[in-house]
Amino acid sequence: MNYKISHPTNVVECEIDLPASKSISNRLIIIQALCKEKFSITNLSNSEDTKSLQKALKDTTNTIDIGDAGTSFRFLTAYLSSLVGSRFILTGSNRMKERPIKELVDALLKLGVEIKYLDKIGFPPLAISGSDIKENKVTIDGKISSQFISALLLIAPTLKNGIKLKISSKIVSKPYIIMTLKLMGEFGIFHTWQENTIEIKPQKYIAKDYDIEADWSAASFWYEIAALSRSCNIILNGLSKNSIQGDRKVIELFKNLGVQTKFKNGSTILTKKKENIISKEINLINTPDLYQPFKCTLFSKNLTTKFLGLQTLKNKETNRIKAVEKELLKLNTTKKITTYKDHRMAMSFAPLCLKYDTLQINDVDVVNKSYPNFWNDFKKGGFIIKPLTH
């Protein structure tokens, strides 16, 4: 389905219950599966990615189709490898089959796991034979994907000799690795990180109930709305001021565009003042998911900067750099935005109707991947949505 969207006043006042963090949810689901004792998770993400991971872990068949869920695919590649005596085929959507997995597979092969490519070398689908992993020293390239590193770290305590993981090259999305280690620490797992080596010795996850905070990545679209509005008072519920999520950097990024953040009584309140100070260079190597909403905001304000650290974006749901550039060019012509099966494309371009009047967003259901309630929340902000059935 496609939507035509607009905003009659450009004044946005609303209160939004943000979705739970997908990144935290997916890590906790793997920890829960690895923990010998049961514990409960409250406020689990209702995103398609999280649901597909839950479903995969309950799957009684030998073939697991994870669809478009990239994080889930990577976490499962390591997790299934640690299940001694099991055999699985792990596959996904056509786009998933174009997303590289070689660096993680190579690391697991060095650890003694039996994995075979069923189609193109370096890409899904995979045939995985769970192994009693005894080798513990492995090197992995840090510039490809932090999810490869997190996948190995999550299983590390359950392995016979743990893991001594040496990271070569500069790490991309480092806050996600720190998030993984902090969450593991919450469940009793100790680690050391000296220079470029992380070591985790054999340990047991200790069960504890966990309540998941809201998603700072989802908040980024409301920061974009705030920046593009004439004025705003946006109350976002569920965010943690001292969050373990790297995308909390959105506060700093959008402050330079006049968005003020105030924490009060458990809520995060966004207001606006006139201020457009932009750095000549912005490095998003630690927070690449913020690129789309921030780039769209800058374009709408006729501001430019040099972006650094975007190398991982070509291997996401789409090539996000190319997709954004192509769709921005439509804002002065057709105003019909293609989303490329990428949830963040839909949510990053939707707020632009505050500057470009009525926009058409195609394939609106893509938001289900991370923020299923986005369009309902969008309406709360005073946006008008007209479904197009043709």
DSSP H or E stretch at residue 291: helix 291-300
What phi, psi does 31 have (nearest 5°)? Answer: -60, -40
3-state secondary structure 303-367: CCCEEECCHHHHHCCCCHHHHHHHHHHHHHCCCEECCCCCHHHHHHHHHHHHHHCCEEECCHHHH
Task: Give yes or no for a cis peptide into 387 (omega within 30° of 0).
Answer: no
Distance CA 216, CA 44 (A): 15
CA distance to 52, 71, 379, 381, per residue, from 296 (Å):
30, 25, 20, 19
Cα separation of 177 and 185, whole Å? Answer: 12
What b-and-e string marks burial along 76-111, b requiring 16 or more CB atoms within 10 Å of the CB? bbbbbbbbeeeebbbbbbebbeebebebbbbbbeeb
Q: Is 289 annotated in the active site?
A: yes
Q: Which of 62, 26, 270 is nearest to 146 (CA)?
A: 26
The rounded distance, in Å, linking the Cα atoms of 390 and 373 is 23
3-state secondary structure of 162: coil
Residue 297 has phi, psi (to 5 degrees) of -65, -45
Q: Catalytic residue among 289, 342, 363, 377, which?
A: 289
Active centre residues (catalytic): 289
